[in-house]
Amino acid sequence: MFKKLLIANRGEIAMRVNRSAHELGIATVAIFSEADRASLHVRNADEAFCVGPGPVARSYLNIPNIISAALIAGADAIHPGYGFLAENARFAEICADHGLVFVGPAPETIAKMGDKASAKAIMAEAKVPTTPGTDVLGSVMDALAGAKRLGYPVMLKAAAGGGGKGMRAVRTPEALEHAFATAQAEAEANFKDGRLYMEKLIERPRHVEVQIVGDAYGNVVHIGERDCSVQKPSHQKLVEEAPASHLSDRARRKVHEIAIAAARTVKYKSAGTLEFLLSGDDVYFMEMNTRIQVEHPVSEMVYGVDLVKEQLRVAAGERLSLDQKHLVPRGHAIECRINAEEAANNFAPAAGTLVDVALPGGYGVRVDSHAYAGLAVPPFYDSLLAKIVTHGTTRLEAIDRMSAALRDTRIAGINTTIDICRAIMRDGRFREGGVAIDYLPNFNAAAAPATT
Ligand code: MV4
């Protein structure tokens, strides 16, 4: 096992990784920007290095400074967390060039899955069901022909993409030319790569993803699925759960089997997630994320597995300690993301200082957070302040436990998503379960019942 791990991240996920490393007896090295000197993730690590000023390009994305910190500290591995350098194939390669183990899959796997068109082609080749679609489109003419073959409505997507950038739904041939131009410009602006491809539009799908872990010896297990359909118009997730509700046994088994087959296809080594669109019992591969994800705790709560520990073990060359027949889900878990955002103003980021912080606790409640009273939230980073995760014997018990936990949660000094999460927990449609991706964009918090 590693002796010393550098954690190339900040906030709650840096603290999360730090805990599992300490549990395994690994010493930890934090990095921080000048804006994060007072951050809790710095205090909990055994050592810490400043890697540059607040803006991410100069600190958390500053590869020379991060590698230097790892070498000076004598670390033998780097955990990237999520975001920042977590899915940067070049960074994974540079780690290896300096004798540092990158805690994640091989650089080639990151690169192949990072290009969404290439990921889809690889999965289609392996008979993983994908959304009917086209190759990369050379022109609007190509797009018109593709749409005619697929039948409207269709969706234009950025090949380099992900996250919904450069994506446009197109319902008529008349709308295609304009959509093509704007999607291409958006893809070019975001990824310096304007290549587009097209898919048949799946109407009101659910976002269901499967957690998998693989080792270097060809063992792969799934840790069940999560439903992440409750997303903001910006495609950021707000509420996630495991298992997915209102899924037939057939569809559940199918999505697990497909995820295992997909992971085997790319000889996947590390923790990863396969994202699918579900429409009834139909399953379509969407993307593979080659990192530990924000919402991984709901799977941990239901399966009793520490995914970061597994990730560290397989990165150190150990065999998977899990086998599929012993991975049995128990009960239900819900996660609410508490972001520094103004929900009523299209989730605009909120800045300021936390003047009061009370986080919940008790039976079946897990809180992953770096927030404390007095913390100045810097303007440079993701707005996530806390993840509140509840477990229950049933889905409704987990939801009611979340409602009670959110009543105990107070963050003053800054706008947060606490109130909208409370309203969702009270909403009849959410409580029924099985909501699709149009749920949150159409949600009216004011219309939800006042209290429970
Ligand atoms: C789709 C789709 C419908 N049909 N593809 C959004 C983000 C990107 N990674 C894929 N996305 C979608 N792709 C086809 N062919 C609908 C979405 C989509 C979506 C997917 C998951 C979660 C939330 C979403 C919100 C809007 C659109």
pLDDT digit string (tens) for 262-312?
Answer: 999 999 999 999 999 999 999 999 999 999 999 999 999 999 999 999 999
User: 233 CB contacts (<8 Å, ≥6 apart)?
Assistant: 346, 347, 440, 441
Q: Which residue's alpha carbon is nearest to atom 12 within ligand 1?
A: 164
CB 337 within 8 A of CB 417: yes
pLDDT at 452 over 60: no
Ligand 1 atom at shortest distance from the alpha carbon of 154: 15
Task: Quote the crossing angle between the two packed helices 307-315 and 11-23, to the nearest 10°.
Answer: 70
Whole-number Cα distances in Å, 49 to 22, 70, 409, 425: 18, 9, 32, 41
* 106-124 average pLDDT score: 94
Q: What is the pLDDT of residue 451?
A: 59
Q: Is the CB of 287 under 6 A from ligand 1?
A: yes
Active-site positions read 291
Nearest protein CA to atom 10 of ligand 1, as residue: 164
- Given the CA of residue 201, which atom of ligand 1 is nearest to it? 4
Q: Which atom of ligand 1 is nearest to the CA of 164?
A: 7
- The pLDDT confidence band at residue 449, using thresholds 50, 70 and 90, is confident
Instruction: Return d(Cα 440, Cα 104) in angstroms, integer.
Output: 32
Residue of 351, 339, 336 lying closest to 385 (CA atoms): 339
Tell me the mean pLDDT in the region 135-152: 96
Element (H, E) at 116: helix 116-125
Contact 396, 431 (CB under 8 A): yes
- Each residue's pLDDT tens digit, 9-65: 999 999 999 999 999 999 999 999 999 999 999 999 999 999 999 999 999 999 999
Binding site membership of 18 for ligand 1 (Cβ less than 6 Å): no
289 lines ligand 1 (CB under 6 A): no
Query: CA 377, CA 265: separation in Å to the nearest integer?
Result: 42
Whole-angstrom distance, CA of residue 360 vs CA of residue 1? 34
Cα 437 to middle of ligand 1, angstroms? 8
Place of tokens 């302040």: 385
Task: Give phi and psi for 165, each to the nearest 5.
Answer: -80, 135
Closest CA to 87 of 20, 161, 17: 161
Per-residue pLDDT tens digits for 328-362: 999 999 999 999 999 999 999 998 999 999 999 99
Angle at 166 between CA 119 and CA 155, to 5 degrees: 75
Q: Are strands 332-339 and 237-242 parallel, antiparallel or unpaired?
A: antiparallel
Q: What is the pLDDT of residue 201?
A: 98
Q: What is the mean pLDDT of the chain?
A: 96
CA of 68 to the centre of ligand 1 (A): 39
Decide: helix, strand or coil at residue 240.
strand
* Rounded-to-integer distance, Cα 445 and Cα 216, Å: 47
Q: What is the structure's pLDDT at 198?
A: 97
Determine the distance separating the centroid of ligand 1 and the alpha carbon of 262, expressed in angstroms: 19
Verify whether ligand 1 is closer than 6 Å to residue 205 (CB atom): yes
Residues 6+ apart with CB under 8 A from 384: 11, 12, 294, 337, 338, 339
pLDDT-based confidence at residue 199 (cuts at 50, 70, 90)? very high
Tell me how far apart the alpha carbons of residues 111 and 87 are, in angstroms, rounded to a whole number. Answer: 8
Going from the Cα of 268 to the center of ligand 1, the distance in angstroms, rounded, reads 24
Give the residue-averaged pLDDT of 368-384.
Answer: 96
| Burial of residue 306 (number of CB atoms within 10 Å: 0-12, 13-18, 19+) | middle
Residue whose CB lies within 8 A of the most ligand 1 atoms, among 170, 437, 442, for a mutation test: 437
> Is there a cis peptide before residue 449, judged by omega within 30 degrees of 0?
no
Strand pairing of 77-79 and 101-102? parallel
Q: Which residue's alpha carbon is at the smallest distance from atom 19 of ligand 1?
A: 437
DSSP-based three-state secondary structure for 188: helix
Residue 444 has pLDDT above 90, yes or no: no
Q: What is the pLDDT of residues 64-94, one digit of tens each?
A: 999 999 999 999 999 999 999 999 999 999 9
Q: Is the dihedral of CA 68, 71, 74, 76 positive or negative?
A: positive
- DSSP string of 320-363? PS--GGG----SEEEEEEEESEEGGGTTEE--EE--EEE---ST
Closest CA to 231 of 200, 205, 198, 259: 205
> Can you point out the beta strands (E) in 370-428?
376-377, 384-392, 410-412
What pLDDT, on a 0 to 100 scale, did the predictor assign at position 448? 74
C-alpha 156: how far from chain center: 22
Tokens representing 194 are 């304007």
